[in-house]
């Protein structure tokens, strides 16, 4: 193994520290750093560079890049524990995130995901941590696999375990509880629990843009429209144009539809649709399409000839004749159902297709293509 | 991780508050009042609310300024003044700080109501209708003094009349009130004797610096008294309040002010006078490039009092290339008074400041294009992010933005002038792979590695529909290389077939084209997806069964991708290879060219490629040593 002259790496690390919320530029730089370290067979630098790449890739919404780098680090850690033992805590910390993000890819089977959680749990126990983190991850995964009953069980188990250094910060954990409540449709409890986070009384390392976005519609439904409006105005500029927050952008879009501000909702769609097309995270894309269907469902009925500003070349690639809202609705429905079917088959349920059927019951009864009926009716 | 500890410690502090307030309950069905543990509150303030003990000076100044404002409201001819004096201690006795104002003063009733009730502020009740004139409003300011002293002595006499009153408060929560018989002018004097461990916070130079820092824009003179000397620490007017004989005087004054405050030799500035929005100050342009995601830090004064030197939520997200110094009458401080409350006033201020920068830059393009170019040369990325969002800005300023191209750095305007079509690639690596070849063929390809660059180019294209702007992939570019004539293609069929079978195990496909420079025998190109797949293969080789399976599921099973090795028909080595007629030689040479292309592109070799390399070198060595004959 080469002795590393890692001054270049140190400089890169320093530049990353400057950028507390790194963007695509940093991602390219760290990918370059990994290649450079690999090409010079410098194992330590290659490991260190991948560690940073993980953080940057997560910030940039590139789950797939983060997972590849993490898998390599985990393998090297297992092969040469003596070389990387100092990194145990951070490796396990990143493992938490990695294990929870696997369900974003429908290609990864349920069995593979559960096996990974077993592996994480074992490693955490061996390192002397309580089972809180493992159960936290199991709860999260159960939610993303749409197994709400199982999630409820893990949720209870999680909160019974003592906190330790591996636990997420109290604000993040509280945010996770809010998300659980939202998934279980207990919106008023979720709003209540989220109050300290919304008002900034409980802070965390990352601003909770995603959490705030997911609370916008519940706030409106609870009659707290002014609060929702304030949070929308305050947080939307911070998530706009960012791949990582494509899911949150969808929540803002859904909020605007709920407020009947279809023009703004359309602007949010047009701004983020190119990102939804390019996101490597199929779960994010599915979520954004689902939110967008709320908008296009409305436009299709009331303003079907609304012209949508689409990325260059999109119409030809998608095989759509015109950029009208009604055409987009049909295309989005097809794409959503295709994704929903893949996720449902992997998850072993019909959650997403059922959701689509419920949300579009009236619309499907109208003059809809037979293809959509078939896709939407594929529920087991 | 810090957040975790902070939150936990706060919870513990809150818990101790509850525990300390519990009284023995012996009387059933009676109402009880919460008791407050002052020490725990002070701990909460000093460790979690305020940034440090130095803020006691700000809180005292604030009370004094508000008191003079209240008196001026009663008597418009009144001229407020604040005196600060540090009396050195003798024979080991710590020094004492005196801060005196000629403001409204307090009556005995007001003392009980406001000084002894935590969270109660005189600025909330009597003067509610004039609250906009006051800085404080939370009623916790005076408590901050307990971060540096164990006892606060306050002597006050109300301008409305009545005797002078002495109030002594201790950090254990007890206080005494005494009516004084001596004559005192209306106003308030606060005495603090420093705690032994906080002596540094009451030393005259420290007090002077802090008073000047917090109070530089306060409308009331702050005079520091040292022996017989009196020195006003906030005498200098900020540059936006002064008049200048010439434009260069004005420029020098603003830039000097910026340097004094921020320690930076700024490039340029915009004076801000937005009276209707209650905003004044200046925006300064940084003289060095700033990462788009770097922390923002701006100076915010509220009604003349320094709130923070690190406001990161004041400016629009794209405005990383400026530092702002503003004094606002509209923004609301948080309870710590060290940050701004996120409300509609802040949203409006952010919008106005963003518009001011945008309009200034648009104006520069007409009045001082050289300076605009100077700013763009340093802050192109941040300006790009604004141009990508705004048609007018994109049209006027966008054309000056520089782009890296295969033909060197060029502005969008130059590109528009010299090329009928603007082509760009979106990946750094894609650009690196293609730049040399594109340049040799006078093809201009823009490196739009940053998503903002691509976004700007698309907006630009929409503004100038006559000139297409197109994202091209590396595959499209290699496909645009000149085809080899059908006859030559036919002659090369066998070589291509051999190359295809050689490269298939490493997920690569060969092609034959004519391209420049002729010295380059092959060009290896891989799409972004293929490059990531390579990394996944590399990780998979070392991974456990579980993770190896996951990587296969995501990256291989779904859609295996192929790189391309484009053989250059113009290259002499390729020409010789076409003539060898030996499949074995062709196979070994293709293997070597493939690995060489990878190494030149700084791609690490995976296990299959290492095998390929070994096989190639051994084979070539055997040919050279005559162990094997060509064609075997």
Q: What pLDDT, in 10s, does the model give residues B152-169?
A: 999 999 998 889 999 888
Determine how many CB atoms are found less than 10 A away from the CB of residue B432: 15
* Cβ burial, residue B132 (10 Å; 0-12/13-18/19+): exposed
> Across the interface, do B544 and A202 touch by the CB < 8 Å criterion?
no
> Across the interface, do A107 and B551 touch by the CB < 8 Å criterion?
no
Nearest one of B357, B382, B367 to B452, comparing CA atoms: B382
Can you tell me the mean pLDDT for B552-576? 86
CA gap B163, B109 in Å, rounded: 12
The half-sphere exposure of A95 on its side-chain side, counting CA atoms within 13 A, is 26
Contact of A156 with chain B, judged by CB distance below 8 Å, is answered with no
The answer for B 389-408 residues in CB contact with A (under 8 A) is: none
Contact of A60 with chain B, judged by CB distance below 8 Å, is answered with no
Can you tell me the mean pLDDT for B598-608? 81
Measure in Å the smallest separation between the Cα of B580 and chain A Cα atoms: 33
Question: Over the range B473-494, which residues count as b (16 or more CB within 10 Å of their CB) and which as e?
Answer: bbeebbeebeebeeeeeeebee
Task: Tell me the backbone φ, ψ of residue B190, rounded to 5 degrees.
Answer: -115, 130
Residues of A in contact with B449 (CB under 8 A): 24-25, 28
The verdict on whether omega for the bond into residue B531 sits within 30 degrees of 0, i.e. cis, is no
Contact B202, B95 (CB under 8 A): yes
User: In this model, does residue B630 exceed pLDDT 60?
Assistant: no
Q: Per-residue confidence at B31, pLDDT binned at 50, 70, 90?
A: low
pLDDT of residue B290: 78
pLDDT of residue A225: 95
Q: Per-residue confidence at B510, pLDDT binned at 50, 70, 90?
A: very high
**Residue among A15, A35, A205 minimizing CB distance to B602:** A35
pLDDT of residue B88: 82
Q: Per-residue confidence at B380, pLDDT binned at 50, 70, 90?
A: confident
Tallying the residues shown for chain B, one arrives at 632
Can you tell me the mean pLDDT for B507-514? 92
Q: With a cut of 0.95, is the ipTM above it?
A: no
Residues of B in contact with A311 (CB under 8 A): 458
Contact of A206 with chain B, judged by CB distance below 8 Å, is answered with no
pLDDT of residue A203: 56
Interface test with A, best of B431, B550, B551 (most A CBs within 10 A): B550
pLDDT digits (tens, 9 = 90+) for B116-157: 655 555 554 444 444 444 444 445 678 888 888 988 999 999
> Across the interface, do B539 and A169 touch by the CB < 8 Å criterion?
no
> Worst-scoring range by mean pLDDT, B53-67, B415-429, B533-547?
B415-429
Residues of A in contact with B11 (CB under 8 A): 170
> Worst-scoring range by mean pLDDT, B306-310, B545-549, B559-563?
B559-563
Look up the pTM and report it. 0.66
Q: Per-residue confidence at B16, pLDDT binned at 50, 70, 90?
A: very low
pLDDT of residue B126: 45
DSSP H or E segment with residue A296: helix A282-302
pLDDT of residue A13: 62
Which residues does chain A have with pLDDT short of 50?
1-5, 18, 367, 378-380
* Cβ burial, residue B241 (10 Å; 0-12/13-18/19+): exposed
pLDDT of residue B26: 43
Greater model confidence, B518 or A14:
B518
Contact B392, B461 (CB under 8 A): no
Contact of B543 with chain A, judged by CB distance below 8 Å, is answered with yes
Residues of A in contact with B295 (CB under 8 A): 18, 20
Can you tell me the mean pLDDT for B217-240? 91
pLDDT of residue A201: 62
Contact of B557 with chain A, judged by CB distance below 8 Å, is answered with yes
**Residue among A23, A72, A79 minimizing CB distance to B292:** A23
Instruction: Return the percent helix, strand and coil in chain B, to nearest 5.
Output: 45, 20, 35
pLDDT of residue B33: 62
Task: Choose from B53-57, B257-261, B625-629 the range with maximum mean pLDDT.
Answer: B257-261
pLDDT digits (tens, 9 = 90+) for B315-361: 888 888 999 999 999 998 876 777 788 788 888 899 999 999 999 99
Contact of A79 with chain B, judged by CB distance below 8 Å, is answered with yes
Determine how many CB atoms are found less than 10 A away from the CB of residue A307: 12
User: In this model, does residue B37 exceed pLDDT 90?
Assistant: no
Helix, strand, or coil here: A279? coil
pLDDT of residue B294: 65
Residue B70 CA to its chain's centroid (Å): 39
> Across the interface, do B7 and A241 touch by the CB < 8 Å criterion?
no
pLDDT of residue A322: 94
Q: Per-residue confidence at B474, pLDDT binned at 50, 70, 90?
A: confident
pLDDT of residue A14: 59
CA gap A361, B237 in Å, rounded: 68
**Residue among B449, B547, B602 minimizing CB distance to A71:** B547
Q: What are the tokens at B261?
A: 């405050």
Contact of A173 with chain B, judged by CB distance below 8 Å, is answered with no
Greater model confidence, B65 or B471:
B65
Nearest one of B405, B407, B409, B413 to B372, comparing CA atoms: B413
Residues of B in contact with A175 (CB under 8 A): none
| Closest B-chain CA to A90 | B1
Measure in Å the smallest separation between the Cα of A177 and chain B Cα atoms: 17
> Across the interface, do A38 and B449 touch by the CB < 8 Å criterion?
no
Residues of A in contact with B4 (CB under 8 A): 167, 169-170
Measure in Å the smallest separation between the Cα of B291 and chain A Cα atoms: 7
């Amino acid at each position: 193994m080469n002795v590393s002259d890692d001054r270049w790496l140190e400089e890169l690390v320093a530049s990353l520290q400057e950028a507390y919320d790194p963007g695509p530029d940093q991602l390219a730089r760290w990918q370059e750093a990994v290649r450079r370290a690999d090409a010079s067979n410098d194992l330590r630098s290659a490991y260190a560079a991948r560690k940073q790449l993980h953080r940057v890739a997560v910030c940039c919404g590139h789950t797939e890049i983060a997972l590849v780098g993490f898998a390599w680090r985990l393998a090297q850690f297992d092969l040469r524990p003596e070389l990387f033992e100092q990194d145990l805590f951070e490796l396990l910390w990143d493992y938490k995130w990695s294990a929870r993000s696997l369900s974003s890819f429908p290609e990864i089977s349920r069995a593979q995901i559960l096996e990974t959680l077993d592996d994480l749990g074992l490693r955490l126990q061996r390192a002397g941590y309580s089972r809180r983190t493992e159960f936290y991850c199991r709860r999260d995964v159960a939610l993303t696999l749409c197994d709400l009953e199982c999630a409820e069980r893990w949720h209870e188990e999680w909160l019974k375990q003592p906190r330790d250094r591996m636990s997420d910060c109290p604000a993040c954990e509280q945010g996770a509880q809010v998300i659980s409540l939202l998934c279980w449709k207990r919106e008023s409890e979720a709003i209540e629990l989220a109050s300290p986070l919304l008002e900034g009384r409980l802070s965390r390392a990352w601003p909770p843009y995603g959490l705030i976005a997911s609370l916008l519609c519940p706030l409106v439904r609870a009659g707290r429209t002014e609060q929702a409006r304030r949070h929308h105005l305050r947080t939307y500029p911070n998530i706009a144009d960012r791949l990582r927050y494509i899911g949150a952008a969808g929540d803002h879009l859904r909020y605007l539809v709920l407020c009947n501000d279809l023009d703004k909702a359309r602007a949010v769609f047009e701004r983020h649709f190119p990102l939804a097309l390019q996101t490597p995270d199929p779960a994010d894309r599915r979520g954004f399409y689902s939110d967008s269907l709320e908008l296009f469902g409305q436009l299709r009925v009331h303003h079907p000839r609304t012209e949508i500003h689409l990325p260059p070349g999109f119409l030809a690639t998608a095989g759509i004749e015109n950029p009208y809202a009604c055409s987009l609705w049909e295309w989005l429905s097809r794409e959503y159902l295709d994704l929903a079917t893949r996720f449902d088959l992997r998850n072993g349920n019909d959650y997403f297709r059922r959701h689509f059927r419920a949300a579009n019951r009236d619309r499907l009864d109208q003059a809809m293509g037979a293809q959509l009926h078939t896709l939407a009716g594929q529920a087991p | 991780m810090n957040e975790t500890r902070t939150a936990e410690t706060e919870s513990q502090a809150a818990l101790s508050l509850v525990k300390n307030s519990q009284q023995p309950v012996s009387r059933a069905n009676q109402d009880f009042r919460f008791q407050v543990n002052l020490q725990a509150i002070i701990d909460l303030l000093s460790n979690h609310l305020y940034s440090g003990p130095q803020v006691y000076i700000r809180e005292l100044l604030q009370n004094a300024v508000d008191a003079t404002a209240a008196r001026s409201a009663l008597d418009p001819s009144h001229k407020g003044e604040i005196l600060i004096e540090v009396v050195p201690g003798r024979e080991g006795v710590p020094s004492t700080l005196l801060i005196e104002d000629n403001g409204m003063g307090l009556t005995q009733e007001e003392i009980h109501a406001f000084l002894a009730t935590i969270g109660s502020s005189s600025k909330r009740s009597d003067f509610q209708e004039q609250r906009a004139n006051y800085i404080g409003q939370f009623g916790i300011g005076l408590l901050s003094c307990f971060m540096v002293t164990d006892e606060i002595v306050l002597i006050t006499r109300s301008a409305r009349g009545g005797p002078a009153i002495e109030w002594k408060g201790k950090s254990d929560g007890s206080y005494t009130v005494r009516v004084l018989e001596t004559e005192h002018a209306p106003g308030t004097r606060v005495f603090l004797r420093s705690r032994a461990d906080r002596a540094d916070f009451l030393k005259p130079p420290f007090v002077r610096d802090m008073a000047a820092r917090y109070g530089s824009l306060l409308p009331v003179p702050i005079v520091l008294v040292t022996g017989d000397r009196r020195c006003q620490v906030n005498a200098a007017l900020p540059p936006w309040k002064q008049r200048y004989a010439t434009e260069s005087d004005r420029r020098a004054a603003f830039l000097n002010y910026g340097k004094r405050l921020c320690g930076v030799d700024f490039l340029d500035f915009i004076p801000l006078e937005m009276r209707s929005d209650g905003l004044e100050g200046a925006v300064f342009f940084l003289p060095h490039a700033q990462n788009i995601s770097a922390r923002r830090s701006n100076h915010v004064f509220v009604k003349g009092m320094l709130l923070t030197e690190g406001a990161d939520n004041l400016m629009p997200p794209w405005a990383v290339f400026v530092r702002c110094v503003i004094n606002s009458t509209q923004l609301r401080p948080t309870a710590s008074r060290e940050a701004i409350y996120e409300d509609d006033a802040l949203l409006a201020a952010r919008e106005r400041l963003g518009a001011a920068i945008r309009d200034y830059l648009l104006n520069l393009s007409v009045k001082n294009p050289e300076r605009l170019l100077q700013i763009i040369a340093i802050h192109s990325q941040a300006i790009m992010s604004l141009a990508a969002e705004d048609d007018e800005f994109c049209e006027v300023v966008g054309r000056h933005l520089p782009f890296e191209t295969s033909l060197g750095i060029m502005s969008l305007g130059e590109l528009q002038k010299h090329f009928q079509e603007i082509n760009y690639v979106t990946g750094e690596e894609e650009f690196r792979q293609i730049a040399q070849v594109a340049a040799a063929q006078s093809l201009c390809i823009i490196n739009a590695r940053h998503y903002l660059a691509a976004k700007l180019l698309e907006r630009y294209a929409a503004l100038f529909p006559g000139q297409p702007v197109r994202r091209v992939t590396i595959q499209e570019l290699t496909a645009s290389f000149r085809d080899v004539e059908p006859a030559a293609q036919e002659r090369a069929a066998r070589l291509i077939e051999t190359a295809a079978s050689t490269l298939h195990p490493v997920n690569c496909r060969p092609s034959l084209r004519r391209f420049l420079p002729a010295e380059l025998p092959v060009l290896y190109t891989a799409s972004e997806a293929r490059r990531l797949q390579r990394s996944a293969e590399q990780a998979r080789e070392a991974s456990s069964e579980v993770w190896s399976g996951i990587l296969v599921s995501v990256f291989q099973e779904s859609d295996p991708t192929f790189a391309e090795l484009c053989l250059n028909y113009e290259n002499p080595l390729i020409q010789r290879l076409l003539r060898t007629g030996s499949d074995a030689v062709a196979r070994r040479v293709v293997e070597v060219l493939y690995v060489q292309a990878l190494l030149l592109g700084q791609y690490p070799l995976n296990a299959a490629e290492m095998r390929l390399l070994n096989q190639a070198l051994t084979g070539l060595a055997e040919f050279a040593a005559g162990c094997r004959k060509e064609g075997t």
